Amino acid sequence: MRAGRLPGALAALAALGAVAAPSALPASGRHTVQMCVATSAAPPNCGPAQADWRADGSLRVRIDDLVYNLQLRSSQVEIVVMHNVVQIDALVVPYEWVGNTLQFSDDDRHSRYEIRFPPPRR
């Protein structure tokens, strides 16, 4: 985990205020989502991914042989990225919900991420 980034991330979070959850969190279970990644100011590149939303607030997003394991806390998300059985990254960063989209950034890599859930069924 890259703890050196936490003070700056916490300051940014404090400036934003409370992290808002969507009006309805995704239902527990599997979802087909769009995973989007952007570097610098470029628009995001998006592609399909499989997400497993769990009742405990954890989320597992699979894109081919990469898996993003996310644990959402009240203001931060803990992320462990796996390639098959090898851990390739771990970080703790602030997150926010914008509509049905979970957003977070990796400042060390100058990357922004979005996990776009389908709208809830009525």
Full-model pTM: 0.78
- Tell me, yes or no, whether 74 lies in a domain: yes
Q: What is the pLDDT of residue 39?
A: 92
| Domain tally, the chain | 1
> Could you read off the pLDDT of 11-41 as tens digits, one per residue?
333 333 344 555 567 889 999 999 999 998 8
In whole angstroms, what separates CA 40 from the centre of its chain? 17
**Does residue 21 form part of some domain?**
no
Ranges 37-41, 85-89, 105-109, most confident: 85-89
Residue 106's domain comprises 3-16+33-116
